[in-house]
């Protein structure tokens, strides 16, 4: 082999080696970029179906209402299996209470300045409470590895009331006035606030509630759709910690006024001694979609 052919062959080999080296480096770079650890995820969520103002109630039936939550969350990955998630949710809740019969009496003064005892008796009394909250949940999540992952998240939630009200329905309300000084009980006239009133319905009465604090638990399956997006299917439980009622305390549900005696106002049952420990509770199914960033 002459020197010229040797140099030419050596040059070709060197070029091929450089090409292979460049290819290896390029592939390694591409692999590193594609397998770069995802540091966080944006998560959208919907959940339901039970979301209620829960409270203890004497002498009446309580029905927990249906409601739901929608939200957006950011999850920061602390490690491969642990993440810290902070979110913002809109939550709608409801509940209702029902009395077969309500009755009460208290001292009052009529439009002519006469003292008397106002008495009332109502049948099929029902009150429905409704509220909307903006919630800020903060949880720590653990998840296993793999394509199908078990996850569990625990933490707390702060819920700010933004729209709260109650509705009152009474099928029949009978009222009377007992004038002790005359030893007489009046069952009419209606313009004086005494009589029988039927099918009473009063909507959009203000309900005063405090900021709610809850402990939250969630668990289920996280299914990886690709390296950077996934879906969650799980169960959640929000348990209220504090008493939410922030209004006046009442002894009676029906208010007599001598300004317009035939038009009564109705207190919320949450302000009476029959109800106590009003808490924001929720549980049900939660669906989430996440996008890694």
Q: Look at the block and give the residue holding tokens 């920061």.
A: 76
What number does CATH give the domain 39-292?
2.40.160.20
Quote the pTM value: 0.81
Residues 58, 69: Cα–Cα separation, whole Å: 30
Structure tokens of 237? 């439980």
Assess whether the previous peptide bond of 99 is cis (omega < 30° from 0): no
Q: What is the pLDDT of residue 16?
A: 45
237-291 residue pLDDT tens: 999 999 999 988 888 899 999 999 999 999 999 998 889 899 999 999 999 999 9
Instruction: Round the average pLDDT of the chain to a whole number and report it.
Output: 88
Residues 77, 86: Cα–Cα separation, whole Å: 12
For the cut 70, the answer to whether the pLDDT of residue 12 exceeds it is no
Residues 291, 247: Cα–Cα separation, whole Å: 43
Residues 79, 82: Cα–Cα separation, whole Å: 5
Torsion-angle region of 199 (φ positive above 0: left; ψ -120 to 50: alpha; else: beta)? left
26-63 residue pLDDT tens: 434 443 444 456 689 999 999 988 899 999 888 888 88
Q: What is the pLDDT of residue 91?
A: 96
For the cut 60, the answer to whether the pLDDT of residue 126 exceeds it is yes
Structure tokens of 69? 């939550």
In the chain, domain spans: 1-36, 39-292
To which H or E segment does residue 244 belong?
none
For the cut 60, the answer to whether the pLDDT of residue 19 exceeds it is no
Q: Are 52 and 64 in contact (CB under 8 A)?
A: yes
Q: What is the pLDDT of residue 37?
A: 63
At residue 23 the predicted structure's pLDDT band, cuts being 50, 70 and 90, is very low
């Amino acid at each position: 082999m002459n020197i010229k052919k040797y140099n030419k062959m050596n040059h070709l080999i060197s070029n091929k080696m450089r090409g292979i080296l460049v290819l290896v480096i390029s592939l390694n770079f591409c692999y590193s970029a594609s397998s770069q650890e995802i540091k966080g995820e944006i998560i959208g969520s919907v959940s339901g179906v039970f979301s209620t103002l829960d409270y203890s109630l004497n002498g009446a039936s309580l029905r927990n209402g249906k409601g739901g939550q929608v939200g957006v969350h950011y999850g920061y990955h602390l490690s491969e299996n642990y993440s810290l998630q902070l979110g913002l949710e809109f939550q709608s809740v409801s509940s209702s209470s029902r009395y077969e019969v309500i009755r009460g009496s208290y001292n009052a003064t009529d439009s002519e300045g006469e003292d008397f005892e106002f008495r009332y008796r109502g049948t099929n009394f029902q009150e429905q409470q409704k509220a909307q909250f903006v919630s800020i949940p903060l949880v720590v999540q653990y998840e296993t590895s793999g394509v199908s992952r078990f996850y569990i998240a625990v933490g707390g939630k702060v819920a700010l009331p933004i729209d709260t009200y109650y509705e009152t329905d009474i099928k029949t309300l009978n009222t009377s006035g007992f004038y002790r000084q005359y030893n007489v009980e009046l069952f009419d006239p209606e313009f004086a606030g005494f009589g029988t009133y039927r099918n009473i319905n009063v909507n959009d009465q203000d309900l005063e509630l405090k900021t709610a604090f809850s402990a939250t638990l969630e668990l289920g399956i996280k299914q990886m759709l690709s390296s950077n997006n996934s879906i969650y299917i799980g169960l959640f439980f929000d348990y209220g910690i504090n008493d939410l009622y922030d209004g006046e305390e009442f002894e009676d549900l029906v208010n007599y006024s001598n300004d317009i005696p035939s038009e009564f106002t109705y207190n919320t049952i949450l302000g009476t001694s029959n109800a106590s420990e009003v808490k924001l509770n929720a549980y049900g199914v939660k669906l989430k979609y996440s996008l890694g960033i």
